Amino acid sequence: MPTAPPHRHESDRLASVASYRAASAVGDPGLQSLVDVAARVLDAPLAGLSLLGADEQSYLARVGVPVAVIPRHLSLCTHTVSGAAPVVAGDATADPRFADHPLVTGEHRLRAYAGVPVFGRDGLPLGTLCVIDVRPRDFTGEDVALLERLARAAAGLLELHRRDAGAGLAGRDVLTESLRLRRAVDDGELRVHYQPVVDLRSGRVAAVEALVRWQHPELGLLPPGRFVPVAEASGLVVALGRYVLGEACRQVAAWRAQDPAAAALRLAVNVSGRQLADPGVVPTVLGALGDAGLPAHALTLELTETALVHGNDVQPALRRLRGDGVRLALDDFGTGYSSLAYLRDFPVDELKVDRCFTASLSDSVRSGTITAASIALAHDLGCEVVVEGVEHAGQLTHVAALGARYAQGYLLAPPREASACDLGATWPVPVGALRRPAVAVPRQAPGAVRELPHDAAS
Ligand code: C2E
Ligand code: CA
Ligand code: CA
């Protein structure tokens, strides 16, 4: 029986699996419902959501699978995890990956398999969502797409468990929380705060990043880390994102109209993978811009690697939006495993260097090297660079000297509600900020990189 090779980042993958396993999501009714739906809709007698460990595959939820754990060498899902891509075998006896497998040749007589990876926050496959049949059958592209959607929902729930375990909140009732959040979206309890992005060449605010908060009646102002994962797991992030986009576009259009210092202000909005994969994302974004009267090039959508993991689902929307002039930024750059691959596959206008590099700039030569290389790479690709998490003057001088044009962080300004933002504020231009050109001549094929709007620059 040909065994699947380990995933190319197997030791990191196993560490990731361990962090999710520690959160113990076994018995979560939401995960069980997702597996029930997979089995029911695809009419399969066996279905499971599992994590693939070093030696075993353990099920967090299952239908028809008699045991909670099986040895890894008996897992059908190793191929799905190994390649981090869907695997479909309509007739396992005719598929070289499965034909000799004891569960196929033996008494269990498994005949058909369709599995998709379940990705963790860092983009590594934790395990799979799969359906198995005891008769050969055809799985369609739609079947696989459904599994992928369910797997994304499962990943959202797993992430929630992981974070809750870290925050000592394990056992929180996700269903109740998502119902409460639904009401919060409807009742106007969400707030948008804005954090300036400063142009280091002029010392002025070039853009604001919209950051959502929940004004909870009992718990006070909650940060996004406390409720966005619930929103992602339940799908509410689509409605939440629509609200943030609408509100932020309206606010920035008002600033541009009222405040001469903000006439060319740009807006950055975070979007999750779930939002991007929603079929309504293009009209939502263009509608928010149109309703506010904001030009498309004033808006940057910030995407994380996690949002881009499901490339095929989100590529068309991103290309369409970019074609209409909306700018795209790769957020938290450098923290994932495939930042460079995403840079190759997704046309982005901006890189946001993650704050973990900024934080260790002074005490880690390696961080400095990575930050410098990221900035140079971005410029070579014709992208702008925003360095995040600048908290000290020394860091600001350092990133300016490395050639980054834009910076964001508590040193410059924290996120604040709109009425407390001072968009006319100026900061001293750091030494070194004027030394380098902001953007080198793009080396990509002509037309591959749209000319960047520099309207906010001067
Ligand atoms: P992010 O996109 O990386 O946003 C930057 C986060 O860094 C913000 O946290 C901000 O308050 C914080 N920050 C800014 N300057 C500094 C600094 O100097 N030092 C440190 N340590 N932190 C700094 P926040 O507001 O808690 O947001 C956390 C994350 O939640 C965001 O990370 C983003 O991924 C997500 N998020 C926020 N708003 C939205 C939204 O509307 N939709 C979606 N899908 N996600 C959102
Ligand atoms: Ca962001
Ligand atoms: Ca970020």
pLDDT in tens, 303-355: 987 777 655 678 889 999 999 999 999 998 877 666 777 777 788 999 999 88
Please report, rounded to a whole number, the percentage of residues in the chain having pLDDT higher than 90: 57
- With a cut of 60, say whether residue 172 has pLDDT above it: no
Question: What local confidence, expressed as pLDDT, does residue 356 receive?
Answer: 87
Question: What local confidence, expressed as pLDDT, does residue 311 receive?
Answer: 59
Take residue 182 and report the two structure tokens written for it.
Answer: 């639904």
Q: State the closest ligand 1 atom to the C-alpha of 332, by its place in the atom list counted from 1.
A: 3
- With a cut of 70, say whether residue 195 has pLDDT above it: yes
249 versus 367: the higher-pLDDT residue is: 249
Ligand 1, atom 11: nearest CA belongs to which residue?
A: 415
Domain boundaries, the chain: 10-161, 174-457
Taking residues 39-65, report their average pLDDT.
Answer: 94
- Ligand 1 pocket residue status of 392, Cβ below 6 Å: no
Ligand 1, atom 21: nearest CA belongs to which residue?
A: 389
Taking residues 201-225, report their average pLDDT.
Answer: 93
Q: Point out which residues pair with 239 in neighbouring strands.
A: none
Question: What local confidence, expressed as pLDDT, does residue 333 receive?
Answer: 86
- With a cut of 90, say whether residue 104 has pLDDT above it: yes
**Interstrand relation of 220-222 and 204-216 (parallel, antiparallel or unpaired):** antiparallel
- With a cut of 50, say whether residue 170 has pLDDT above it: no
- Ligand 1 pocket residue status of 332, Cβ below 6 Å: yes
Cα angle for residues 29, 32, 33 (degrees, 5° grid): 85
Task: Tell me the CA distances in angstroms from 209 to 227, 413, 420, one per residue in order.
Answer: 18, 11, 14
Question: What local confidence, expressed as pLDDT, does residue 178 receive?
Answer: 77
Q: State the closest ligand 1 atom to the C-alpha of 244, by its place in the atom list counted from 1.
A: 41
- Ligand 1 pocket residue status of 121, Cβ below 6 Å: no
Question: What local confidence, expressed as pLDDT, does residue 277 receive?
Answer: 85
Domains 10-161 and 174-457 share a fold: no
Of 211, 271, 328, 353, the one to substitute when testing ligand 1's pocket (max ligand atoms within 8 A of C-beta) is 211
DSSP 251-300: HHHHHHHH-GGGTT-EEEEEE-HHHHHSTTHHHHHHHHHHHHT--GGGEE
- Helical spans, DSSP H, in 86-199: 102-105, 141-166, 174-186
Ligand 1, atom 3: nearest CA belongs to which residue?
A: 332
- Ligand 1 pocket residue status of 232, Cβ below 6 Å: no
CA 357 to CA 311: how far, in whole Å?
A: 26
Of 227, 228, 386, the one to substitute when testing ligand 1's pocket (max ligand atoms within 8 A of C-beta) is 228
- Ligand 1 pocket residue status of 410, Cβ below 6 Å: yes
Q: State the closest ligand 1 atom to the C-alpha of 231, by its place in the atom list counted from 1.
A: 44
**Ligand 1 centroid from CA 388, angstroms:** 10
Q: Please, is 352 exposed, middle or buried when counting C-beta atoms within 10 Å of its C-beta (0-12, 13-18, 19+)?
A: buried
Ligand 1, atom 27: nearest CA belongs to which residue?
A: 224
Scan for tokens 């754990």, then name that residue.
Answer: 69
SS3 351: strand
CB 299 within 8 A of CB 269: yes
Of 152, 209, 270, the one to substitute when testing ligand 1's pocket (max ligand atoms within 8 A of C-beta) is 270
**Ligand 2 centroid from CA 370, angstroms:** 19
Question: What local confidence, expressed as pLDDT, does residue 1 receive?
Answer: 59
**Tens digit of pLDDT for each residue in 147-162?**
999 999 999 888 887 8
- Contacts of residue 298, defined as CB under 8 A and 6 or more positions apart, other chains included, come to 252, 256, 264, 265, 266, 267, 289, 453
437 versus 397: the higher-pLDDT residue is: 397
Question: Which of 163-167, 206-210, 362-366 bottoms out in mean pLDDT, i.e. has the lowest?
Answer: 163-167
Question: What local confidence, expressed as pLDDT, does residue 442 receive?
Answer: 42
In CATH terms, the superfamily for domain 174-457 is EAL domain (3.20.20.450)
**Ligand 2 centroid from CA 229, angstroms:** 15
- With a cut of 80, say whether residue 286 has pLDDT above it: yes
Assigned architecture for domain 10-161: 2-Layer Sandwich (3.30)
Q: Is 220 left (phi over 0), alpha (psi -120 to 50) or beta?
A: left
How long is the chain? 458
- With a cut of 80, say whether residue 431 has pLDDT above it: no
- Ligand 1 pocket residue status of 239, Cβ below 6 Å: no
- Ligand 1 pocket residue status of 221, Cβ below 6 Å: no
- Contacts of residue 164, defined as CB under 8 A and 6 or more positions apart, other chains included, come to 23, 170, 171, 172
**Tens digit of pLDDT for each residue in 360-419?**
887 778 878 888 888 888 888 889 999 999 999 999 999 999 889 999 999 999 999 999
pLDDT band at 458 (very low <50, low <70, confident <90, very high): very low
Question: What local confidence, expressed as pLDDT, does residue 63 receive?
Answer: 96
Mean pLDDT of the chain: 87
**Ligand 2 centroid from CA 68, angstroms:** 39
**Tens digit of pLDDT for each residue in 3-23?**
789 999 998 889 888 888 766
Take residue 66 and report the two structure tokens written for it.
Answer: 């008699």
**Ligand 3 centroid from CA 196, angstroms:** 13
**Ligand 2 centroid from CA 71, angstroms:** 41
Q: Point out which residues pair with 384 in neighbouring strands.
A: 350
